[in-house]
Amino acid sequence: MSRISAAESQIMEALWTKGPLTAEEIVNAVGPAQGWGEATVKTLINRLLKKKAMLSERVGGRARYLPILTREEYVTGESQGLLDRLFGGELAPLVAHYARHRALSPKEVTRLKKLIDELDRDG
């Protein structure tokens, strides 16, 4: 599947959170916050249809749009892309970068330690 742009992800987020929507409902859900009109939203819908990230079904003479791509699949792909582009596909440099450039709360440190312990046990 082709990469989903940041703008397209706004459409997908509406579908993931609100379920099947008509074009009008998508416009109402994302248009005002993004400053997008109907034409922009419909262009993004068409791009997502071509990318096979969503599908269209006819219900009562109106098209409703449903996600094919799950949010988890999207997040996994975007996360892996970030790791590959910026950190050579390695997770440790990413965590080190954030630890150096952003203060980790004690809760986050505890969660990371717990995750590492779980990975050690499982692997």
How much is the pLDDT for 56? 97
Q: Report the DSSP beta bridge partners of residue 63.
A: 58
The percentage of residues in the chain with a pLDDT greater than 70, rounded to a whole number, is: 99
81 vs 42: CA distance, rounded Å: 27
HSE at residue 88, side-chain half, CA atoms within 13 A, is 2
Sheet holding 21-22, edge to edge: 21-22, 62-67, 54-59
Ranges for all domains in the chain classified under CATH 1.10.10.10: 6-67
Q: How many CB atoms lie within 10 A of CB 104?
A: 14
Which residues, at least 6 apart from 81, have a Cβ–Cβ distance to it below 8 Å?
3
Average pLDDT over residues 75-93: 92
pLDDT 10s digits, 24-71: 999 999 999 999 999 999 999 999 999 999 999 999 999 999 999 999
Confidence of residue 104 (pLDDT cuts 50, 70, 90): confident
- Percent of the chain residues past pLDDT 90, beyond the cut: 75
What does the pLDDT read at residue 1?
Answer: 64
The CATH number of 6-67 is 1.10.10.10
Give Cβ neighbours of residue 43 (< 8 Å, ≥ 6 apart): none
> Is 110 strand, coil or helix?
helix
Full 3-state SS string of 18-43: HCCEEHHHHHHHHHHHHCCCHHHHHH
User: What is the value of pTM for the model shown?
Assistant: 0.80
Question: What are 30-42's pLDDT values in tens digits?
Answer: 999 999 999 999 9
- On average, the pLDDT of the chain sits at 93
